[in-house]
Structure 1
Amino acid sequence: MTILLTGGTGKTSLRLASLLQDANIPVLLTSHRGPSATSLAPTIRFDWDDKATWTTPFSAATDIKAIYLLSGQVADPAPLLNDFIDFAKAKGVRRFVLCSGSTCEKGGAFHGKIWQKLDDDAELEYCVLRPSWFMEPGFGQLETITQNNKIFSACSDAKIPWVSADDIARITEKLSKHLGREIVHVNLSPEQRIQGLMKAGLAQHTAEFLTGIETKTAAGAESLTGNDVEIVTGKKATSFDEFVQTNKSAWL
């Protein structure tokens, strides 16, 4: 049985590939760059926007039984991913894991319609992952911390799950403590945040989507905590203090 991991060079797909290989489970990674994208595992060219590439995984591995769905920077992922689910189902796949985000709701916008499709098909087994804010790599603020000693966002002073119940101001305190220099949070307007993300190289639709998440966060949408990591994995989640201490060389 082979597991197909879309978004093969993303934060979660590469780590998942490593874990699966450690468990001796065959994996196949995808990337729009093809085999040159990574040497971690077998990698094939795949592009959500190019349906001609959708057959490639099933030519490379005839025993794909489960697929990890990661939409990347697709502007409107539901139509494409839902079509791919039908395509993969016709190839014999019955198990899917959709990586979305903490604000996703079944039937809602963006990934919500993919979730709804998976739920509506009684022949499929599925799971929807709704991670909150990633600590790695540098939680999207690597260059601004190293070069400007600043964190930019449109989150205001809201709480976000990856720092437990602490607010954004506490992130700067923890970074300042471990790095030995003052790091400050700069609260931006949504328009300023969109322009900053586009200047950093993101497409406009991606910049607008990420800023939308931050403005919802500012309104309290992400003020959620829990012990899901420990329940699912059996290991306590890494605290932000531990994370910064382990990875502080990245910001020095």
Structure 2
Amino acid sequence: MPTYATTGATGQFGRLAVAELLRRGTAPTDVVALVRDPAKAADLAASGVDVREADYDRPETLEPALEGVDALLFVSGSAVGQRERQHAAVVEAAKASGVGRLVYTSVLRADSTDLPVAPEHVATERLLAASGIPTTLLRNGWYTENYVGLLGQAEATGSIASATRGAAVSPATRADLAAAAVTALLDESTAGRTFELGGPSFTMDELAAAFSRALGREVAHHEVSPEELAAGLRAAGLDEGTAGFLVAVDVATADGALEVAAADLEELLGRPATSLDDALRAARA
């Protein structure tokens, strides 16, 4: 049987992917969990999953960890500014160890977006293309959880703010994106394809209305300028870099960077993507 591996297997996304592989009947012995700290994957090891140390910042760990892997779910790193270097090490190790196929989690419209995270993903996509390893590109939109995370603020203040100028976003739940990734990992016919992945679209006004339904109280959305948003974020205690990043995301959102039809995601899921209201109900539960 093929051996399937996922990087970042103790992260939120990677754990969901491993669980989905097992749920679909993949034998634990055919699943490789690649992690920086094997001690944090003791539960996976106890279930029979092959846990191996693989640290993006320690290239010497990568080639041994990838030995015997037929298909790799390559979850992009979280260290913004370091990913091109880290990802190059993974691609080189995959080539050296003979990985047969890769599925990479990129970002929505990586090659044409103004999202500040895109350049490192574009560089990785180019590395993958040059590697000669058959690759599936999963260009993921934002997680629905990024927006659900505003629920506490909405409950406390009765309002949310953005500089999105009424533009829609098409986020998907982390679980939906992980399930889609596992479909691509298990289905070798997806190699060579690029999927632009997003869920049901909504504006920030519609997000506020969904919060109102979930909380049973009125929540308003206030449209502000990028400068006003930055000032508010700094006043809330965010550092200059984080505030600037979040403002840049809103500015890109206003230009349509995070809106996409749900067709690609639903093709991989084989079902409708999770709605915002359902995601909110799950979070409240």
Return the alpha-carbon distance in structure 2 between the equivalents of residues 152 and 95 of structure 1: 42
> Cα RMSD between the aligned structures?
3.3
1:111-164 alpha-carbon deviations (Å, 9 max, x no partner): 01111222234x311111112121237644354345445445443432101373
**TM-score calculated relative to the size of structure 1:** 0.78
Counterpart selection for 2:69 from 64, 71, 74: 64
Aligned positions of 1:63-102 closer than 5 A = 63-69=68-74, 70-102=76-108
Instruction: Tell me the equivalent position of 2:133.
Output: 124
1:229 matched to 2:234:
no
Instruction: Tell me the equivalent position of 1:240.
Output: 276
1:18 matched to 2:23:
no
Return the alpha-carbon distance in structure 1 between the equivalents of residues 201 and 146 of structure 2: 21
3-state secondary structure, aligned to 1:85:
helix
1:174 matched to 2:210:
yes
Instruction: Tell me the equivalent position of 2:55.
Output: 47
Runs of at least 5 residues in structure 2 that lack an aligned partner in the other structure: 113-117, 172-198
Return the alpha-carbon distance in structure 2 between the equivalents of residues 211 and 103 of structure 1: 19
Return the alpha-carbon distance in structure 1 between the equivalents of residues 257 and 269 of structure 2: 25
Runs of at least 5 residues in structure 1 that lack an aligned partner in the other structure: none
Return the alpha-carbon distance in structure 1 between the equivalents of residues 237 and 3 of structure 2: 37
Q: For the structure 1 residues 137 and 164, does the alpha-carbon distance in structure 2 shift closer, same or farther, using more than 3 Å as the test?
A: closer
Higher-RCO chain (CA-CA 8 Å, sequence separation at least 6): 2
Return the alpha-carbon distance in structure 1 between the equivalents of residues 79 and 216 of structure 2: 35
3-state secondary structure, aligned to 1:110:
helix
Question: Contact conserved, 1:173 with 1:183, CA < 8 A, in 2?
Answer: yes
Q: For the structure 1 residues 19 and 186, does the alpha-carbon distance in structure 2 shift closer, same or farther, using more than 3 Å as the test?
A: same
Question: Contact conserved, 1:158 with 1:220, CA < 8 A, in 2?
Answer: yes
Q: For the structure 1 residues 50 and 126, does the alpha-carbon distance in structure 2 shift closer, same or farther, using more than 3 Å as the test?
A: same
Question: Contact conserved, 1:7 with 1:72, CA < 8 A, in 2?
Answer: no
**TM-score calculated relative to the size of structure 2:** 0.70
Shift of 1:82: 2.0
Return the alpha-carbon distance in structure 2 between the equivalents of residues 233 and 36 of structure 1: 29
Number of residue equivalences: 242
Counterpart selection for 2:119 from 104, 109, 113: 109
Shift of 1:192: 4.1
Shift of 1:78: 1.9
More divergent stretch after superposition (83-92 vs 2-11): 2-11
Shift of 1:81: 0.8
Return the alpha-carbon distance in structure 1 between the equivalents of residues 38 and 164 of structure 2: 36
1:133 matched to 2:142:
yes
Question: Contact conserved, 1:178 with 1:244, CA < 8 A, in 2?
Answer: yes
Shift of 1:167: 0.9
Q: For the structure 1 residues 27 and 183, does the alpha-carbon distance in structure 2 shift closer, same or farther, using more than 3 Å as the test?
A: farther
Q: For the structure 1 residues 185 and 166, does the alpha-carbon distance in structure 2 shift closer, same or farther, using more than 3 Å as the test?
A: same
3-state secondary structure, aligned to 1:49:
coil
Shift of 1:198: 7.6
Q: For the structure 1 residues 55 and 119, does the alpha-carbon distance in structure 2 shift closer, same or farther, using more than 3 Å as the test?
A: closer
Return the alpha-carbon distance in structure 2 between the equivalents of residues 51 and 173 of structure 1: 47
Q: Percent identity?
A: 23
Q: For the structure 1 residues 35 and 155, does the alpha-carbon distance in structure 2 shift closer, same or farther, using more than 3 Å as the test?
A: farther
